[in-house]
């Protein structure tokens, strides 16, 4: 017993010596660093059920504000174009037109809300905007036969907005256009044509348009841009899986998908060729209309109908479409 006690005391003295304290401290630090590197700490703590998912969970990132920390608009109010005195000609808007109705959603409001649940021409729609990706996209709001309303989850995937529907709390990727986690994992959203342009251009084309009002029910300074300078910087707030340095990360592109094939039209390249540009994507003839003055564009098919293209930062389009074709000027 004395020998055992003596041995125990010897080891205890060694472990409590300054030299061993440093060894234990460094070992513990190395374990924490290794855990972070392996991504164990990247999976966010969330109230959403992530049991079913179609993307790696360590690629779902906590954006900061938390669930509904950015309040989606559930009951939008609109004013006439004449009453929209808070807008300047050069302000960016997302424009939606269906039937005899035209609606404008100012980016200066969407910067603070990101999602508007709305109807147009009797159809339920959701208008979305991700300030980090520069992407404005609209979708039909019916899924699985019933209407869904959407909120801001507070999570990001590939630096892009993850919405959630209030009915099932599934998580939906905006640019990916499908549910990435939750009961509806794998289900797709149906995009509708949404124009990303200036208030002056939209108002001129649609003089009877109505405009999303600043009376949103939230107290926000809509004249202040919380992302000022972000669009010009090469820095990203959050990493993406796929990166391509051919263009500035925030170079605007018109992104188009036809039957699974994707193509990007960088504004830098479109500036070098006459508009409209006739091209082919996946065997189909398309016409790209680009307005250099307003930095806006659209894509039309042979039938004269608009394709639901998206204006996006280059890094965001490439993150979701690493195999994309890219138009380059001759």
Question: What value does the mean pLDDT of the chain take?
Answer: 90
* Beta bridge partners of residue 178, listed in sequence order: 173, 188
Higher pLDDT, 29 or 232: 232
The whole-angstrom separation of Cα 72 and Cα 246 is: 35
214 neighbors 104 (Cβ within 8 angstroms): no
What is the reported pLDDT for 18?
A: 52
**What's the whole-number mean pLDDT along residues 123-146?**
94
Does the pLDDT value for residue 305 go beyond 70?
A: yes
pLDDT in tens, 213-272: 999 999 999 999 999 999 999 999 999 999 999 999 999 999 999 999 999 999 999 999
**How many beta carbons lie within 10 A of that of residue 98, not counting itself?**
16
Lowest-pLDDT choice from 42-46, 187-191, 293-297: 42-46
What is the reported pLDDT for 6?
A: 45
Does the pLDDT value for residue 17 go beyond 60?
A: no
What is the reported pLDDT for 33?
A: 41
**How many beta carbons lie within 10 A of that of residue 155, not counting itself?**
22
**How many beta carbons lie within 10 A of that of residue 314, not counting itself?**
24
pLDDT in tens, 144-156: 778 999 999 999 9
What is the reported pLDDT for 145?
A: 77
pLDDT in tens, 170-182: 999 999 999 999 9
256 neighbors 262 (Cβ within 8 angstroms): yes
What is the reported pLDDT for 122?
A: 93
Higher pLDDT, 146 or 34: 146
User: Residue 63: which of 165, 133, 139 has the closest Cα?
Assistant: 133
Category of 109 on φ-ψ map: left (φ > 0), alpha (ψ -120 to 50) or beta: alpha
Q: How does DSSP assign 100-133, residue by residue?
A: TEEEEEEHHHHHHH-EEEEEETTEEEEEEEETTT
The whole-angstrom separation of Cα 58 and Cα 55 is: 9
The two three-digit tokens of residue 268, written as one number: 């830098």
Residues in the chain: 330
Does the pLDDT value for residue 211 go beyond 50?
A: yes
Domain ranges, ordered by start, for the chain: 57-212, 252-326
- Residue 256 burial (10 A CB sphere; 0-12, 13-18, 19+): buried
* pLDDT bucket at 142, cuts 50 / 70 / 90: confident
* pLDDT bucket at 40, cuts 50 / 70 / 90: very low
């Amino acid at each position: 017993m004395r020998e055992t006690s003596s041995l125990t005391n010897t080891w205890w003295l060694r472990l409590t010596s300054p030299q061993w304290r440093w060894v234990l401290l460094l070992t513990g630090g190395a374990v924490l660093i290794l855990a972070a590197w392996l991504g164990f700490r990247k999976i966010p703590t969330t109230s959403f059920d992530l049991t079913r998912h179609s993307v790696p969970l360590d690629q779902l990132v906590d954006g900061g504000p938390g669930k509904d920390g950015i309040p989606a608009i559930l009951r939008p109010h609109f004013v006439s174009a004449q009453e929209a005195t808070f807008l300047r000609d050069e302000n960016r808007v997302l424009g939606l037109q269906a039937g005899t109705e035209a609606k404008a959603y100012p980016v200066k409001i969407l910067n603070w809300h990101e999602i508007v649940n709305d109807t147009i021409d009797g159809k339920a729609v959701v208008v979305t905007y991700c300030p980090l990706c520069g992407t404005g996209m609209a979708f039909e709001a019916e899924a699985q036969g019933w209407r869904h309303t959407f909120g801001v989850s507070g999570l990001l995937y590939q630096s892009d907005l993850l919405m959630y529907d209030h009915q099932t709390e599934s998580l939906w990727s905006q640019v990916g256009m499908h549910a990435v986690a939750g009961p509806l994992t794998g289900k797709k959203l149906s995009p509708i044509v949404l124009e990303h342009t200036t208030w002056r251009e939209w108002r001129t084309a649609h003089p009877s348009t109505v405009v999303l009002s600043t009376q949103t029910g939230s107290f926000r300074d809509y004249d202040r841009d919380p992302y000022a300078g972000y669009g010009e910087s090469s820095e990203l707030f959050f990493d993406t899986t796929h990166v391509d340095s051919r263009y500035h990360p925030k170079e605007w592109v018109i992104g188009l998908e036809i039957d699974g094939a994707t193509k990007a039209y960088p504004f830098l390249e479109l500036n070098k060729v006459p508009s409209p540009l006739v091209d082919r994507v996946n065997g189909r003839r398309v016409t790209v209309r680009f307005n250099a003055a307003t930095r806006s564009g659209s894509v039309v098919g042979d039938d004269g109908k608009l394709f639901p293209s998206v204006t996006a930062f280059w890094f965001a389009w490439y993150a979701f479409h690493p195999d994309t074709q890219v138009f380059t000027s001759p």
